[in-house]
């Protein structure tokens, strides 16, 4: 009697996708080619995958195709190499997702004017992706959002296709941790947190990013991963708020807050130095904690630390303007009619991004007081403030002509010695001019 023939057991979608990833035959896609998406795309391509960027902005796609990088952290030389070797491409056509095995979503998550989360871009990306969802596909959301977004917003859209999460397709959240302008930590060497809707999702997501990142940190759920990002930025926001409040208190008591922080930082445990400044800017710290605050309110709680820190940090532009007024008063000048040069308008050192920059508020406040305001920033050639446009001025010439300079952003490629020697009066909000000779420097 002949034995019954063995029935071949087909591999599961998880195993098929895992094999593709480990063999580098998986086609990877990144939706959104901004400051998070473009660096991720280049790392996927450098790691041996064919990487496809999907971007609605046709101008960015055109620049990508010319290998003309618009993100400082991605050199054009690297982009040129990846494009010429056909390892990376970009398109406005979302239909290409139908042929992709993995999709990382890196779209903006702004706040509405009411400080509520605006998930328009996330929902749009999920709805478009659902048209092309197929068995054996991994989706990783990287856009910062409130805990629960992946499972409460993205998952229902994808499961409406009839496919089952953890069996047919895999869904994870992995918070972006990009720090633009940071030359020590980049997309590859910053540890990557990964949380899946199911254990299978976490396994597949971890497998993909282990091919690209130096270290992946799996966590138990998407909610944990979502909360990780908010904790990181809330931690910074609150401690910067404390430093800013200390600066205002020390100012009232005529104590040098910078000396206080420097001395406190000598303690080898139990203290981490944070520094005051003109206010918070950028796409993360001023925005992300409000996602957590909003979600906490929805659950019936209150995020008191977040609200207090937001108030303190939000008051810093006005505090800076008050320092300018006091400094001018001390030399018998009024703000009205004075020429004031803002030095640095980007939200942080060595970047060109002005989103949420405190310089915008400071310029508007000074103009409302009647000052004649100009600015100098080697990274920002033009700037729109309150519906009118300004152009960056040569720093030494503009400083010598101004009645007062206000140092907001301390770019590393500025000649501060020349700035100090050519200026009549400087309000330094970054302590960048500490140790420079002369009595024309007023520090925060």
Q: Which of 323, 110, 146, 337 is nearest to 227 (CA)?
A: 146
Residue with tokens 């054009």: 76
What gap in Å lies between CA 167 and CA 135, rounded to an integer?
8
Q: How many CB atoms lie within 10 A of CB 96?
A: 16
Entry pTM: 0.90
What is the pLDDT confidence band of residue 6, given thresholds at 50, 70 and 90?
low
Indicate the domain borders of the chain.
13-223, 257-443
Per-residue pLDDT tens over the stretch 121-154: 999 999 999 999 999 999 999 999 999 999 999 9
pLDDT at 179: 86
Q: Which of 43, 38, 204, 34 is nearest to 121 (CA)?
A: 34
Q: Where are the beta strands (DSSP E) in 299-412?
A: 339-343, 372-376, 382-385, 388-391, 404-407
Q: Name the class of domain 257-443.
A: alpha beta
- Name the 3-class secondary structure at 121: helix
What is the pLDDT confidence band of residue 10, given thresholds at 50, 70 and 90?
confident
Per-residue pLDDT tens over the stretch 233-270: 999 999 999 999 999 999 999 999 999 999 999 999 99
Tell me if 172 sits within 8 A of 140, measured CB to CB: yes
pLDDT at 117: 85
Per-residue pLDDT tens over the stretch 98-116: 999 999 999 999 888 777 8
Q: Which two three-digit tokens encode residue 269?
A: 């445990």
- Name the 3-class secondary structure at 248: helix
The pairing of strands 372-376 and 382-385 is unpaired
Q: Decide: residue 320, CB within 10 A, 0-12 exposed, 13-18 middle, 19+ buried.
A: buried
How much of the chain, in percent, has pLDDT values that exceed 70?
A: 98
Tell me if 425 sits within 8 A of 438, measured CB to CB: no
DSSP secondary structure string, 30-44?
EE--STTHHHHHHHH
pLDDT at 203: 98
What gap in Å lies between CA 229 and CA 222, rounded to an integer?
11
* Residue-level length of the chain: 444
What gap in Å lies between CA 362 and CA 354, rounded to an integer?
13
Q: Which of 189, 194, 283 is nearest to 233 (CA)?
A: 283
pLDDT at 178: 86
**Is 13-223 a CATH 1.10.10.10 domain?**
no
Residue 429 has pLDDT above 90, yes or no: yes
201 is catalytic: no
Per-residue pLDDT tens over the stretch 30-79: 999 999 999 999 999 999 999 999 999 999 999 999 999 999 889 999 99
pLDDT at 5: 56
What is the pLDDT confidence band of residue 323, given thresholds at 50, 70 and 90?
very high
The reply to whether 13-223 and 257-443 are identical in fold is yes
The pairing of strands 192-196 and 169-173 is antiparallel
Query: Residues 100, 284, 404, 405: which is the catalytic one?
Result: 284
Residue 3 has pLDDT above 70, yes or no: no
What gap in Å lies between CA 201 and CA 63, rounded to an integer?
34
Residue 439 has pLDDT above 80, yes or no: no
pLDDT at 441: 93
- Mean pLDDT, range 70-90, rounded to an integer: 94
Return the C-alpha torsion angle 407, 367, 337, 312, nearest 10: -50
Helices (H), 166-221: 199-210
- Name the 3-class secondary structure at 278: coil
pLDDT at 241: 96
Give kind and range of the element (H or E) at residue 218. Answer: strand 216-219
Question: Among the listed ranges 106-115, 173-182, 193-202, 249-258, which one has the minimum average pLDDT value?
Answer: 106-115
pLDDT at 66: 95
Residue 7 has pLDDT above 80, yes or no: no
pLDDT at 283: 77
């Amino acid at each position: 009697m002949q034995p019954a023939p063995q029935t071949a057991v087909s591999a599961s979608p998880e195993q098929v996708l895992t094999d593709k990833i480990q063999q580098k035959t998986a086609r990877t896609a990144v939706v959104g080619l901004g400051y998070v998406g473009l660096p991720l795309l280049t790392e996927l391509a450098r790691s041996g995958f064919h990487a496809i960027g999907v971007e609605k902005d046709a101008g960015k796609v055109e620049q990508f195709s010319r290998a003309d990088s618009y993100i400082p952290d991605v050199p054009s030389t690297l982009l040129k190499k990846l494009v010429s070797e056909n390892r990376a491409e970009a398109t406005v056509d979302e239909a290409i997702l139908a042929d992709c095995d993995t999709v990382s979503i890196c779209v903006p998550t702004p706040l509405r004017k009411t400080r509520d989360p605006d998930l328009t871009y996330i929902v749009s990306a999920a709805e478009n992706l659902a048209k092309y969802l197929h068995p054996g596909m991994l989706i990783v959301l990287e856009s910062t959002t409130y805990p629960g977004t992946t499972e409460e917003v993205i998952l229902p859209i994808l499961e409406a296709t009839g496919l089952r999460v953890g069996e047919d397709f895999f869904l994870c959240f992995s918070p972006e941790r990009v720090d633009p302008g940071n030359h020590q930590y980049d997309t590859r060497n910053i540890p990557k947190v990964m949380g899946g809707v199911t254990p299978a999702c976490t396994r597949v997501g971890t497998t993909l990013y282990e091919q690209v990142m130096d270290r992946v940190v799996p966590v138990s759920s998407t909610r944990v991963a979502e909360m990780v990002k908010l904790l990181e930025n809330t931690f910074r926001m609150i401690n910067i708020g404390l430093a800013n409040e200390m600066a205002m208190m020390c100012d009232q008591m005529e104590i040098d807050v910078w000396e206080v922080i420097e001395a406190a930082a000598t303690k080898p445990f139990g203290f981490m130095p944070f520094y005051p400044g003109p206010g918070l800017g950028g796409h993360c710290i001023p925005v992300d904690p409000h996602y957590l605050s909003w979600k906490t309110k929805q659950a019936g709680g209150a995020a008191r630390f977040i609200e207090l820190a937001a108030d303190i940090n939000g008051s810093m532009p006005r505090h800076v303007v008050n320092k300018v007024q006091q400094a001018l008063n001390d030399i018998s000048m009024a703000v009205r009619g004075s020429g004031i040069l803002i030095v640095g308008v980007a939200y942080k050192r060595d970047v060109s991004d002005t989103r949420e920059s405190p310089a915008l508020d400071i310029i508007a406040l000074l103009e409302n007081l009647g000052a004649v305001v100009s600015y100098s920033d080697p990274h920002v050639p033009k700037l729109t403030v309150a519906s009118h446009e300004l152009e960056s001025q040569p720093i030494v010439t503009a400083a010598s002509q101004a009645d007062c300079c206000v140092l907001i952003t301390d770019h590393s490629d500025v000649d501060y010695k020349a700035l100090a020697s050519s200026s009549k009066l400087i309000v330094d909000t970054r302590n960048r001019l500490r140790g420079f000779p002369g009595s024309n420097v007023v520090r925060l």
